[in-house]
Amino acid sequence: MTEDSPQIQQLKVRYRQSFPEKLAIIRKARSELLQENNITFAREELHKLAGSSGMYGYSELAANCRSAMEKLDTRDSLSSLEAIDAVIKQLDSKI
Amino acid sequence: MIKKKVCMVGEFSVGKTSLTQKFVNNVFSETYLTTIGVKIDTVQIEDTKLVIWDIAGRDSLSPINASYLVGAAGVVLVADGTRLQTVESISEIWSTVREKIGEVPCVVALNKADLEDWCVDNTTIESLRDRGWDVFETSAKDGVMVESLFHKIVEKTKE
Amino acid sequence: MRVCESSSNIKDYGFPELQPGQVIDDAIDFMIGMDVNTKLDLPFVASPNGMSISVSLVPCGDNLTVLISDVSDTTEQRRKLQQAANENELLVERQKKLMAELERASRKLEQKNRQLEEASRLQTSFLSGVSHEFRTPLTSIIGYTNLVLNNLQKTGDEQKGLADCNNDYLSAVQRSSKHLMSLVENLLDHGKLDSDEIVLKPKPNSLKQLIDDVELVLRPLSETKGIEFNVIPPYNETATVMVDDSRLRQCLINLIGNAIKFTDQGSVTVDFNYANDTLQVSILDTGIGISEEDMNKIRLPFYQASGTGKIGTGLGLTITERIINMMGGALDIFSELGEGTLVKFNVHASDLGSLDLDSATRELIKTKSLDILLAEDDPFIADLMILMLKDWNIDVTHVVNGALAVEAVQSHNFDLIIMDIHMPVMSGYEAVLELNRIGSTIPVIVMSASAVEADQKRAAELGCSAYLTKPVDVQEIIETADILLSQ
């Protein structure tokens, strides 16, 4: 593929700038999972992040999100939390 | 045996007789029959003999005859919840009572709660309660809150 | 209080016989609460056996005398009188209440009636306005074409110098035709507004280019009227923004055009500001202003302020406000009659940075242009896909949920639909179901972040053409589209 157009590059910058916001959402999802066992919210947000991060080339982050979703589906809360923590750590490292 | 005289007072056609009859004899009639003078009924509530003076309502022809109030241990102020002016005149009637027999215990019955054109709002009810009165939304027809009303006034006369 | 003596006839009234020494209020209820000093007249007391009696308490010395007499006759007369009077008063009260209700109902009805009349008046004046609007350019078209035809029939010397003349005439015809065209477009837009058919097609635009375009169109208008026309661009006008430029231009031309139309002297000043992905525009004029009465109605379709001597379809503002709302913005109008008008609005337009669009132009591999509908709720994904597809000469219409996708399909022919599964309001699956129901045959590519087999199976069952897992590569879409569309 040819190199990205300047607009796409710009969009990628903006996407990266949205990481703090996304981090806050995933943290919220983590605490809601912990306190209220709100699996739906966590799953939805991970799903969104998996979709967009993959599109912007953050394949490892997307893979982590997908793995966290799978953990959530097994209803194993401990490994779900671990997987979400991995997503959080990764997001945090990119800010 | 304790004996207590309690007077039913209020505008005409608010349901003083209906409330009394529902409580004493458990009967109700839709027909309006004006009361002339006073009807006296008695009923036993626990250790108390309650003597209810069902006094003719105030109307265009006659004010309330205050003589009937003499010796009363308490009053039931009755108004018709579908006719706002009968609620508004409660204050005036209360003045008549206080002038004649002083600050006796008092409860308020807003009657005809079963009817659809009820027009008393919560603000009005709160303002009645602010005067220290217990307010009951009664229905002589369905018997709603009728027992509570009379039991309350007996209780208050004994305080 | 005890009984000293009593007459025997008290039994006739239903009272029990009294024994000397008996406690009086044990036997006679009405004596409860009384004492020897009570002096009292109690008229009309119902006795235990239902007779009407009059009771008088008269203290004498240490004793109290109680006098009872039969007043049945007077009571009966009084009862009749009082019953009639009370019933009468109740009737009067009831009547008053009914009258009040009747008045309330009739007031409501009157109001409703006025609204209906107003609506019908607006429709009628709209129709006459429209026919008038059409007649003016049509008359000029017919007139000028006649003149041209006349000139063409002339021969020899007469023909000299007629070419210039014809050119002028034809320019006039063209102007009128363009005007007619815009009228028709306005009417169509209004029809679409009613059926919610307008969809936005945002794409990268140079902010400066957009503002220059609008100025270019409107400056001649202001010059004709001899008024000052100031355009203040934003300090960051070099920004490239994501916006449906044709719709935005439509709004700007309508609002600024109105300002010029209603300003006969003085100036029209347009101030652009761009920050936080939002374009703010304020249009200040020194025109005739808007009366309070008209202010309440100008947003209604077909409404035209009376007495201004200006003609239009009365649809411009309705359409403009609707489009602004669709662009995530709001329109505010501040005015007083004779004091000019200030119109402010804002629209959402994502900032793509200060870029030169021309340098972004890339070699396009695809020669045949494609019209794709993209249903995706995540703006980051949508914007990225729109940009990537644009590079492949693919025109993208973007909607944010399944319901809007179905709506868009009903009003436009797309070559292909790319549908995200997880969307608010209506999911991708629900939308595909609905599309199947209305008989759409447009191929659908389903797109999801989950590679769950059940999801893929469901997509296949629904007749979707392909299932792509995010991250979706544009190459992948193009290849899929190529395969699908060549089938």
Tens digit of each residue's pLDDT (9 = 90 or more) over C115-171? 888 878 777 766 776 776 677 678 878 888 888 888 888 877 777 777 777 888 888
Say which amino acid occupies C252.
Answer: L
Distance (Å, whole) CA A72 – CA A44: 11
- Cβ pair B68:C42 closer than 8 A: yes
- Of C30, C53, C70, the domain-final residue: C70
With residue C87 as reference, give the H or E element that holds it: helix C72-153
Radius of gyration of chain A, Cα coordinates, nearest whole angstrom: 14
DSSP code for C32: T
Chains in contact with C, where contact means 3 or more Cβ–Cβ distances below 8 Å, are A, B
Contact B126, B87 (CB under 8 A): no
State the ipTM, two decimals: 0.90
Contact B146, B78 (CB under 8 A): no
Question: Do C266 and C367 share a structural domain?
Answer: no
> What residues of chain C lie within 8 A of the CB of A69, using their CB?
450
- Cβ pair B4:C32 closer than 8 A: yes
pLDDT digits (tens, 9 = 90+) for C442-461: 888 888 877 677 777 788 78
Nearest to B71 among C33, C43, C86 (CB): C33
pLDDT digits (tens, 9 = 90+) for C382-417: 888 888 887 777 888 899 888 899 988 988 888 889
Q: Nearest C-alpha of chain C: how many angstroms from A52?
A: 6
Q: Does C81 touch chain B (CB under 8 A)?
A: yes
Size of interface B-C (CB pairs under 8 A): 74
DSSP code for C2: B
Distance (Å, whole) CA A66 – CA A87: 10
Question: Do C458 and C426 share a structural domain?
Answer: yes
- Which residues, in sequence order, are CB contacts of A40 under 8 Å at separation 6+? none
pLDDT digits (tens, 9 = 90+) for B91-105: 999 999 999 999 999
Question: Do C384 and C304 share a structural domain?
Answer: no
pLDDT of residue C231: 94
Residue C416 burial (10 A CB sphere; 0-12, 13-18, 19+): buried
- Cβ pair C378:A52 closer than 8 A: yes
Which tokens go with C427? 């999911």
Say which amino acid occupies C300.
Answer: L
Three-state secondary structure call for residue C208: helix
The number of CA neighbours under 13 Å toward the Cβ of C29 is 23
What letters, b where the CB count within 10 A reaches 16 and e where it falls short, cover B85-96?
A: ebbebbeebbeb
Helix axes A6-17, A19-36, angle to 10 degrees: 40
Question: Do C367 and C348 share a structural domain?
Answer: no
Contact C375, C409 (CB under 8 A): no
> What residues of chain C lie within 8 A of the CB of A45, using their CB?
none
> What residues of chain A lie within 8 A of the CB of C471, using their CB?
51, 54-57, 59, 62
Q: Does C101 touch chain B (CB under 8 A)?
A: no
Instruction: Say whether the B–A interface has 3 or more Cβ pairs within 8 Å.
Output: no
- Cβ pair C90:B33 closer than 8 A: no
> What residues of chain B lie within 8 A of the CB of C85, using their CB?
59-61
Three-state secondary structure call for residue B110: strand
Residues recorded for chain C: 487
Smallest CA–CA distance from C386 into chain A, residue: A8
How many domains would you assign to chain C? 3
* Higher per-residue pLDDT: A6 or B120: B120
Distance (Å, whole) CA C5 – CA B19: 37
Sheet holding C203-206, edge to edge: C203-206, C239-243, C350-354
Question: Do C385 and C323 share a structural domain?
Answer: no
- Cβ pair B37:C25 closer than 8 A: no
Q: What is the dihedral of CA C58, C59, C61, C64, to 10 degrees?
A: 90
Which tokens go with B10? 């209020």
Distance (Å, whole) CA A47 – CA A26: 11
pLDDT digits (tens, 9 = 90+) for C297-316: 777 665 666 656 555 556 67
Sheet holding C394-399, edge to edge: C394-399, C370-375, C416-420, C444-448, C466-469
- Give me the helices (H) in C264-313, please: 292-295
pLDDT of residue C465: 79
Question: Do C311 and C286 share a structural domain?
Answer: yes
Question: Do C384 and C329 share a structural domain?
Answer: no
Contact A27, C403 (CB under 8 A): no
Q: Does C96 touch chain B (CB under 8 A)?
A: no
- Of C70, C91, C118, the domain-final residue: C70
Distance (Å, whole) CA B21 – CA B23: 5
- Of C352, C387, C419, the domain-final residue: C352
Smallest CA–CA distance from C57 into chain B, residue: B67
Question: Do C390 and C456 share a structural domain?
Answer: yes
> What residues of chain C lie within 8 A of the CB of A25, using their CB?
none
Structural domain boundaries enclosing C299: 203-352
Question: Do C280 and C388 share a structural domain?
Answer: no
Distance spanning both ends of chain A, measured CA to CA: 28
Residue C242 φ then ψ, to 5°: -95, 105
- In a structure prediction context, what are the per-residue pLDDT tens digits for chain C, which is 487 residues long? 899 888 888 888 999 988 898 999 888 999 998 988 889 999 999 999 989 999 999 998 888 999 999 999 899 898 898 899 899 989 998 899 899 989 999 999 999 998 888 878 777 766 776 776 677 678 878 888 888 888 888 877 777 777 777 888 888 788 778 767 767 777 777 766 665 667 777 878 889 988 988 888 788 788 888 999 999 999 888 888 888 887 898 889 889 988 998 899 999 999 999 988 899 999 999 998 888 888 877 776 656 666 565 555 566 788 888 889 888 899 999 988 888 899 999 998 888 765 443 333 333 334 456 788 999 988 888 888 888 887 777 888 899 888 899 988 988 888 889 999 888 888 888 899 888 888 888 888 888 877 677 777 788 788 887 788 777 777 777 777 777 776 5
Distance spanning both ends of chain B, measured CA to CA: 16
Nearest to A5 among C362, C381, C475 (CB): C362
Domain boundaries, chain A: 9-94
Contact C28, C41 (CB under 8 A): no
Q: Is residue C171 part of a domain?
A: no
> What residues of chain A lie within 8 A of the CB of C449, using their CB?
47-48, 50-51, 54, 62, 65-66
- Cβ pair B13:C44 closer than 8 A: no
Contact C46, C28 (CB under 8 A): no
Question: Which one of 1.10.486.10, 3.40.50.720, 3.40.50.360, 1.20.120.160 gives the CATH number of domain A9-94?
Answer: 1.20.120.160
pLDDT of residue C367: 42
Distance (Å, whole) CA C397 – CA C417: 10
Residue A24 burial (10 A CB sphere; 0-12, 13-18, 19+): exposed
Chain B residues within 8 Å of chain C (Cβ atoms): 3-5, 12-13, 32-34, 36-40, 42, 51, 56, 59-62, 65, 67-68, 70-73, 83, 85, 117
Query: Cβ–Cβ contacts within 10 Å for residue B99, how many?
Result: 10
* Higher per-residue pLDDT: B42 or C359: B42
Q: Is residue C325 part of a domain?
A: yes
- CA C330 to chain centroid, in Å, comes to 12
Q: Does C384 touch chain B (CB under 8 A)?
A: no
Domain boundaries, chain B: 2-158
Question: Do C467 and C377 share a structural domain?
Answer: yes
Residue C413 φ then ψ, to 5°: -90, 115
> What residues of chain A lie within 8 A of the CB of C472, using their CB?
55
Question: Do C375 and C340 share a structural domain?
Answer: no
Chain A residues within 8 Å of chain C (Cβ atoms): 1-2, 5-8, 10-11, 13-15, 18, 44, 47-48, 50-52, 54-57, 59, 62, 65-66, 69
With residue B86 as reference, give the H or E element that holds it: helix B84-88
- Give me the helices (H) in C154-200, please: 162-194
- Cβ pair C380:A56 closer than 8 A: yes
Q: Is residue C426 part of a domain?
A: yes
Measured CA to CA in angstroms, residue B143 lies from B9, B20, B48, B123, C487 at distances of 19, 11, 22, 25, 80
> Domain B2-158 class?
alpha beta
Contact C411, C192 (CB under 8 A): yes
- Cβ pair A54:C240 closer than 8 A: no
Residue B56 burial (10 A CB sphere; 0-12, 13-18, 19+): buried
Question: Do C326 and C370 share a structural domain?
Answer: no
